[in-house]
Amino acid sequence: MTTADLITSLLQQAVGLQQQGHFGQAEDLYLKVLHAQPDNFDAMHLLGVIARQTGRPALALELVSRAIGINPLQANAHCNLGAALQDLDRPLDALACYDEAIRLQQGYAVALNNRGNTLRRLSRHEEALASYRQAIEARPSYAEAHNNLGAVLHTLRRHDEALLSYQRALQWNPAFADALNNLGITLHALHDFDSALASYDRVLQLQPGRADAWCNRGMALQKLRHFQHAVSSYDRALNIDARFAGAHLGRANSLRSLERNEEAVAGYLQAMECGADAEQVNYALAALGVVAAPAASPGAYVRELFDQYAGHFDSHLQQNLQYRTPALLMDLLRPHLPAAALDIVDLGCGTGLCGALLKAYAGRLDGVDISPAMLEQAKQKKCYDSLACVDIGEFLRRCECRYGLAVAADVFVYIGDLSDTFAAAGKVLKEGGLFAFSVEESEQEDIVLRASRRFAHSPAYLQKTAEAHGFVIDEMAREVIRQDNGADVHGCLVVMHRL
């Protein structure tokens, strides 16, 4: 056998072993080839691929770079170099490698898909979408690219489009567990919790050891109010990964809903020990009376809550919770409004339920909310002259406008101590300017953080806080403002003016 025949035979054996996952044996054969022929591109390149497959990205970078030095015109080597750079957290360098691979081989689907992954990591989402679509155009059956396209669409909250992408991925690969899991996540975001649950169950039939799917399943069960089953699902996740902070947190939330508060407290503490956000965990503990309540709800908690809720906010509030605050507040406010149009700011405007009622009285109407997803919904109502995505406290402190009316409907349930808010509101209102708002009513304590994680305030507290900051209460009404699990929630509606 000639040397050339021997090298060909060794390479064929090595490739077969590598494809079967026998990396050590394949590596030995590639090294034999390189001993006989040090400038063999295939052996050097595939040795680098093995290094990456076995978790050695720095060595992969060195070996694939040497292979490119032998033959710089091989697109697949540039693509694999990009993958190693991506593993080493060098996304811009990886991007340049993928671009070179695509230059050498037009329509190179794998490089286009990997390029999309890098762009997504850089939060260049529109460019990532374009790259994934090019990969799919080059290879319509590329299930991974369909799945990745769906992931970016989900990030952009284009959930209906994401759903179609995952479904296309599954048409080409019905056993694609990642796509099934992502499908469940998007169905969850669309509030189709039963279908999400079915999708997670399909994932777990294929890969029963996936802690993330068990955790996702628990979250769907929680939304369906099957709290005990949710706890069991979280337990399965924690049996696989005992330090899964999200599973500890979800389990604690379900235990709280079951009123198993001591167990819930232990769960929250475990979640924090495993890396869950300390501010949000302490907030949950405060709602259970374990630690002192903060001055306000954590901003990240409020933003995440309403970003998830935005697409179904109006229908859920009005149909499920019998939410009446905007209409009730307007009924209370209307007799106090002057004949002339006012400049109005809607603090915590959400999807614009109040804005639609305020527009008729506004010369200018500005909306402020911490949730970008809620503001997207508000924008569609076309009743605001401007919308600002910012915490209302920060907005009030920085605002240079002077308004005739400020409104805060169902906002102060996320703020305990109202002193700073009232003081800041006084600075943005004209003399005699009106401030209309709602609170959940506390019948005894000035401020109480309830188990619902919503603050309630007493009428006496509102009276003294208003007076301390230069306001006079014109009218206060006690009303049922919504329902919670079928029970009436009483609130106070207030109209006051600045001296």
- The CATH number linked to 147 is 1.25.40.10
| Total number of domains constituting the chain | 2
Residue with tokens 């957290």: 89
| Cα dihedral 476, 466, 414, 434 in deg (nearest 10) | 70
Residue 436: per-residue pLDDT: 97
> Residue 209 is encoded by which pair of tokens?
């050891």
Partners of residue 429 on adjacent β-strands? 403
Per the CB < 8 A criterion, the answer to whether 250 and 219 are in contact is yes
Q: Is the pLDDT of residue 383 over 90?
A: yes
Residue 465 domain-assigned (yes or no): yes
Model confidence at 47, pLDDT cuts 50, 70, 90, reads very high
List pLDDT tens digits, range 443-462: 889 999 998 999 999 999 99
Residue 232 domain-assigned (yes or no): yes
Residues 212 and 347 in one domain: no
Residues 324 and 277 in one domain: no
Angle between helix 177-189 and 143-155 (nearest 10): 20
Residues 380 and 423 in one domain: yes
CA neighbours closer than 13 Å in the CB half-sphere of residue 371: 25
List pLDDT tens digits, range 131-145: 999 999 999 999 999
87-91 — which CB contacts under 8 Å span 24+ positions?
A: 87/52, 87/57, 87/60, 88/57, 88/58, 88/61, 91/118, 91/121, 91/122
CA neighbours closer than 13 Å in the CB half-sphere of residue 152: 24
Instruction: Please give the DSSP secondary-structure letter assigned to residue 319.
Output: I
Of 199-208, 270-279, 316-325, least confident by mean pLDDT is 316-325
Per the CB < 8 A criterion, the answer to whether 111 and 141 are in contact is no
In the chain, the amino acid numbered 350 is: G
Residue 315: per-residue pLDDT: 54
Among candidate residues 256, 287, 318, the one where a domain is terminated: 287
Residues 10 and 77 in one domain: yes
Q: Domain residues for 184?
A: 3-287
Residues 76 and 192 in one domain: yes
Q: What's the farthest any 2 CA atoms get from each other in the chain?
A: 102
Residue 311: per-residue pLDDT: 65
Model confidence at 312, pLDDT cuts 50, 70, 90, reads low
Residue 440: per-residue pLDDT: 96
Residues 190 and 315 in one domain: no
Closest CA to 99 of 88, 112, 90, 110: 112
Residues 279 and 372 in one domain: no
The mean per-residue pLDDT over the stretch 335-356 comes to 94
Residues 269 and 404 in one domain: no
Residue 152 domain-assigned (yes or no): yes
Residues 244 and 334 in one domain: no
Residue 294 domain-assigned (yes or no): no
CA neighbours closer than 13 Å in the CB half-sphere of residue 92: 0
Residue 313: per-residue pLDDT: 60
Residue 316: per-residue pLDDT: 53
List pLDDT tens digits, range 387-397: 999 999 999 99
Average of per-residue pLDDT values in the chain: 94
Q: Is the pLDDT of residue 492 over 90?
A: yes
Residue 319 domain-assigned (yes or no): yes
Beta strands in 314-375 (DSSP E): 342-347, 362-369
Residues 88 and 12 in one domain: yes
Q: Is the pLDDT of residue 4 over 90?
A: no
Angle between helix 3-19 and 23-36 (nearest 10): 160
CATH number at residue 374: 3.40.50.150
Residue 292 domain-assigned (yes or no): no
Residues 230 and 372 in one domain: no
Other CB atoms within 10 Å distance of the CB of residue 350 = 26
Q: Is the pLDDT of residue 320 over 70?
A: no
Other CB atoms within 10 Å distance of the CB of residue 194 = 11
Residues 166 and 206 in one domain: yes
Q: Is the pLDDT of residue 83 over 80?
A: yes
Residue 23: per-residue pLDDT: 95
